[in-house]
Amino acid sequence: MISMNQFPWLTAIVIFPLCAGIFIPLINNKGNQSIRWFTLMVCLLNFVFILYVFNKYYDPEYGFIQLRETFPWIKNLNINWSFGLDGLSMPLVLLTGFITTLSTLSGWPITRYPKLFYFLMLAMYSGQIGIFAAQDFFLFFLMWELELIPIYFLISLWGGKKRLYAATKFIIYTAIGSLFIFLVAFSMAFYGDVITWDFNELTRKDFPLSVEILLYIGLWIAFGIKIAAVPLHTWLPEAHGEAHSSTCMLLAGILLKMGGYGLIRINMQLLPHAHAYLSPWLVIIGVINIIYAAFTSFAQRNLKRKIAYSSVSHMGFVLIGIGSFSDAGLNGAILQMVSHGLIGAALFFLAGSTYDRMRTVVLEEMGGMTHLMPKMFTLFTTCALASLALPGMSGFVAELMIFLGFLSSSSYHIGFRIFITCLEAIGVILTPIYLLSMLRQIFYGLNGSLGIRTQQVMDIGPREIFIFSCLILPTIAIGFYPQLVTKLYASTAEKIVETAISSEKILILGDQLRISSAKKIVLDSLL
């Protein structure tokens, strides 16, 4: 394990954005320029800190938690202020810093309550990094709650006409999930003779299978809400449909990944026997996500809701990868989270830029805009091709790894593997249909109001091209050289899968022993 006795870098990375945001009310409000630049500099500086920690202290070959910082916090309950990073959390911390910085830059046109807006963005920054770095279950819950309130206000104050409904639905769903997290964390911490919230120590507790299953289901509800698993997904289209594009970038780029991270970090690592028992249901729900969301996306008239349902579909692949019991499958699931973080953020950014020019997100009111916005058309087409997993893009590599990982998994019957893979393939076929149809409706045809088409609509500008380029270039780079990302977490993913397979073998052996014991009892009674 790498020592970090010199300076508590992880704590600094978590609390710096929030602490810096406290000074925003003191900034001169003239023209909003000072607030914008201050917030952007804070985001950039924190991202530089993350890159420094990654470059100096992080070792990708070491598959366990490193950079560990643990300080006593609430001693009576044995709660510690504990952060650490491994191959699972490091890529998502890097993604958080990257997406949040670009999201802040995309919010520059906002003039309503700018001080509050940028403070909430920085608070979100702290909460999301804290979730991916926390090594104490109570601290994890606290950080989970920290990101809840900023998102509610970001949707309710800077959203569309139904923003209050969307924000209320979001907070109800998420609050229910938070309640399950707290109940499970409390139950796990107080189970047995030792009270502990530490993830490492919780793995050593010997929970009965029945207890593990109950805890697993409770966490599945919480994380299923966050990853937008069917039928817990209905908050997502509403939130995306009404939120400002900068908020949508955070929702698609980072927030959905919190659900996948929780399923791997807690469900899969802390409750491995229940995961072995319930993983087939995870795979089935993942397939439902892919097929259902793809078909539902066809019927959406709202551009942002159509993209939101594509996100639900893509998260289905993450669920299948998590439930695959294979190195390739889990590697693909983590890569899919990173890939979709970049592509999803880019799609919602472009949707927001399109709305700023056309003043509508209703697809029937668009059309015939290619000659007025050729740059926008080029960028939107490139991003749509990335989303449909075109070879050469990161999504193609991630989905291929999940396909091969699940198909080659020895934990499932060959017939079940072929059946699931065929259903996945149907989802892959449906994706380009609804995405290319979306492009046609936006840029071609005779739709759209006459007023818009007779105006001189401004094409996408330098700031927007810069933001899009920052998102799409890594997508292409990962597509051609996936090891840019996979080498960060391959060792950790391998160890997680080894633990899961070992738990599955123990579960199977236990079933065999129970069956043998039952047979012996029957034979003894007959004799």
| CB within 8 Å of 102: residues ≥ 6 apart | 249, 345, 349, 467, 470, 471
Torsion angles phi and psi, residue 366, rounded to 5: -105, -175
DSSP alpha helix (H) spans, 359-461: 374-387, 394-407, 414-443, 450-454
Bridge-partner residues for 69, per DSSP? 83
Kindly indicate the confidence band of residue 517, based on its pLDDT and cuts at 50, 70 and 90: very low
Residue type, 432: P
Q: Which two tokens stand for residue 216?
A: 């697993």
**Tens digit of each residue's pLDDT (9 = 90 or more) over 197-206:** 999 999 888 8
Quote the CA–CA distance of 340 and 338 in Å, as a whole number.
6
Write down the pLDDT at residue 192. Answer: 81
Neighbours of 110 (CB within 10 A): 16
Write down the pLDDT at residue 460. Answer: 84
**Tens digit of each residue's pLDDT (9 = 90 or more) over 15-64:** 999 999 999 988 876 667 888 999 999 999 999 999 999 988 888 888 78
Residue type, 247: T
Encode 352-381 in three state secondary structure: HHHHHHHCCCEHHHCCCCCCCCHHHHHHHH
Kindly indicate the confidence band of residue 65, based on its pLDDT and cuts at 50, 70 and 90: confident
Q: Is the pLDDT at 522 greater than 70, yes or no?
A: no
Q: Mean pLDDT across the stretch 373-387?
A: 90
Bridge-partner residues for 66, per DSSP? 85
Taking each continuous run of H as one helix and of E as one strand, the counts in the chain are 22, 2
Quote the CA–CA distance of 350 and 106 in Å, as a whole number.
10
Q: Is the pLDDT at 1 greater than 70, yes or no?
A: no
Quote the CA–CA distance of 362 and 345 in Å, as a whole number.
20
Q: Is the pLDDT at 516 greater than 50, yes or no?
A: no
